[in-house]
Amino acid sequence: MERVDGFGGFFFKAKDPKGIAKWYADHLGVGATPTEYGQEPWKQTEGPAAFQPFPATTKYFGDPDKTFMLNFRVKNLLAMVHQLQEAGIAVEVDPEVYPNGWFARLADPEGNPIQLWQPKDSKGAK
């Protein structure tokens, strides 16, 4: 059976698409989609990824009106958290280290939930 290799993009509606794209680039390093052929897109580092539908009634994403949550893999969770906090962004670090790693939560300027995940085998793991 043929299968996909991974995510080729994530597309979502935003009140301020240019502003939210800039926020992701400035604070998380997710580059904007190129506007011309030949420009380099943001490239992910190879690694594990989860694809998990949740019940429509989940409270896991926080705001019940949000229908998705982004989860970004990071090498050093504490360094990323510090960088975001220095920029005035509220981040909540989960104090528990799980069998698969360590997590933190924040939201983008439009309230979309984001989870940061440092896999347990990453350097700088707690």
Domain-located, residue 7:
no
Domain interval for residue 26: 17-119
Q: Give the pLDDT confidence of 56-77 residue by residue, as tens digits.
A: 999 999 999 999 999 999 999 9
Domain-located, residue 68:
yes
Length of the chain: 126
Give the strands of the sheet with 113-119, arranged side by side.
70-73, 113-119, 101-107, 92-93
Pairwise CA distance, residues 126 & 123, whole Å = 9
Domain-located, residue 72:
yes
* pLDDT computed for residue 119 by the predictor: 94
Give yes or no for residue 100 having a pLDDT over 80: yes
Domain-located, residue 24:
yes
Domain total for the chain? 1
Give yes or no for residue 125 having a pLDDT over 70: no
Q: Could you tell me what percentage of the chain is helix, strand and coil, using 3-state DSSP and rounding each to the nearest 5?
A: 15, 15, 65
Average pLDDT of the residues in 12-28: 96
The β-bridge partners of 105 are 92, 115
- Domain with 109 in it: what CATH number? 3.10.180.10
More confident site: 126 or 105: 105
Pairwise CA distance, residues 89 & 100, whole Å = 25
